[in-house]
Amino acid sequence: MGNPGKIAAVNTHPISAPLKRVQRTAHESRGDVTLLLVEVVTDDGIKGYGQVSSTPMKDIDGWIKKLTPHVIGMSALAHGDVWEKLFALTSPQPGQGALPRSARPQIMAAIGGIDMALWDIKGKAAGMPVYALLGAENKPVFTYGTGGYYIEGEKLTACADELAGFVANGYKAVKLKTGADTIANEVKRIAATRAAIGPDISLMLDLNAAYDLPGCMAFARAVAPYNIFWLEEPLHWYLQPADFALLAKATTIPLAHGERELTRFTTRDFLTIGSVRYVMFDATRAAGFTEALRVAHMADHAGAMITPHHAPEMHCHLVAAFPRTGFAVESHGSPDRDPIWHGLFSDRAQVRDSHVYMNDKPGFGIDIDWDYAKKHAA
């Protein structure tokens, strides 16, 4: 398509879709799913699309609008310069006030949405998929199916039937939400799930930061007999790499973490101390593809496995670029769990047989179903 010009506009499209039933994790409940689609337009008409899957969506939308004047007129290929310029606004500078520290998660999400759209533009300008820009081949990327949310009125072991359904549809690995009930009841859920999916399917557990350190050590001991692949986000939000290191010494189950980290700097500390084996940094939640690529390089250097949280149609490009340590992307095993992912795109990477199959379209390879987007405009 040629070399794009300058950034001319940044538009946002907030989208929301109801869930059939309210679903809960150990951390929160929700009755809908939301996504903020970020559109960057160049002065010669190229459009790139990024996504933000963090909340509150209205606040993040507002921050994108506030950040937009800082990037108008910059080169659409200069994603590094754009990222650094916006990131610099989060810290005090001579003669210029910093953005409020209280809004940093939302600001980093806003930066991420703009950044991902620039990568989409970069690929479209080059006429290449993002994975090709990163030197990767178009090979299937492994994915696991997430489910087992708590649903009011469901029997305790309903999760076992659900995840067995994922396996029947081809998944070779599944992830179960845990941590919201007593350890005894969680063991019942996990035991039933293992029995339902069989011994050869990988079973991940997502704790959503449910435990303090002693509690998580007890949980890990209780679930170890069920051949658990990893414990994800095992500790309360305020517990840091040193606490993860103590947990890692207390269990043989690998730890996964990173989706709530905002930058490479805090993620680096988990890698440096050696407490996390699976790195889940989410470009759609914070900081974008540029920062996710930096995190992936650090993980690769540390020998940790790269397995980004959420958005398999975009994160698959990142995982494909690391043939040694690129492990997997997350997908939802049922349309009921993420209706936006199943409805928003008229074309995107496809999930089947526990793999993501990328297309050869430039950029992230996604086409938007604008009728769906308008119908579900938030």
Q: Among 270, 258, 151, 253, which residue's Cα sits nearest to residue 202?
A: 253
For strand 47-52 and strand 29-42, is the pairing parallel, antiparallel, or unpaired? antiparallel
For strand 350-352 and strand 355-357, is the pairing parallel, antiparallel, or unpaired? antiparallel
225 by Cβ neighbours in 10 Å (0-12 / 13-18 / 19+) ranks as exposed
pLDDT per residue rounded down to tens, the chain (378 residues)? 457 799 999 999 999 999 999 999 998 999 999 999 999 999 999 999 999 999 999 999 999 999 999 999 999 999 999 999 999 999 877 766 678 889 999 999 999 999 999 999 999 999 999 999 999 999 999 999 999 999 999 999 999 999 999 999 999 999 999 999 999 999 999 999 999 999 999 999 999 999 999 999 999 999 999 999 999 999 999 999 999 999 999 999 999 999 999 999 999 999 999 899 999 999 999 999 999 999 999 999 999 999 999 999 999 999 999 999 999 999 988 888 899 999 999 999 999 999 999 999 999 999 999 999 999 999
- Quote the pLDDT of residue 2: 55
Half-sphere exposure of 297 (CA within 13 A, CB side): 8
SS (H, E, C) 167-219: HHCCCCEEEEECCCCCHHHHHHHHHHHHHHHCCCCEEEEECCCCECHHHHHHH
Written out in words, the top-level CATH class of the domain with range 7-128 is alpha beta
Q: Is 31 helix (H, G, I), strand (E, B) or coil?
A: strand
- Quote the pLDDT of residue 93: 75
pTM for the full model? 0.95
Span between the terminal Cα atoms of the chain, in Å: 33
Work out the number of other CB atoms within 10 angstroms of the CB of residue 81.
12
Q: Is 36 helix (H, G, I), strand (E, B) or coil?
A: strand
**39-73 per-residue burial string, b: 16 or more CB within 10 A, e: under 16:** bbbbeeebbbbbbbbbbebebbbebbeebbeebee
Q: Among 130, 7, 116, 111, which residue's Cα sits nearest to residue 64?
A: 111
Domain range summary for the chain, segments of one domain joined by +: 7-128, 132-375
At the topology level, CATH places domain 132-375 in TIM Barrel (3.20.20)
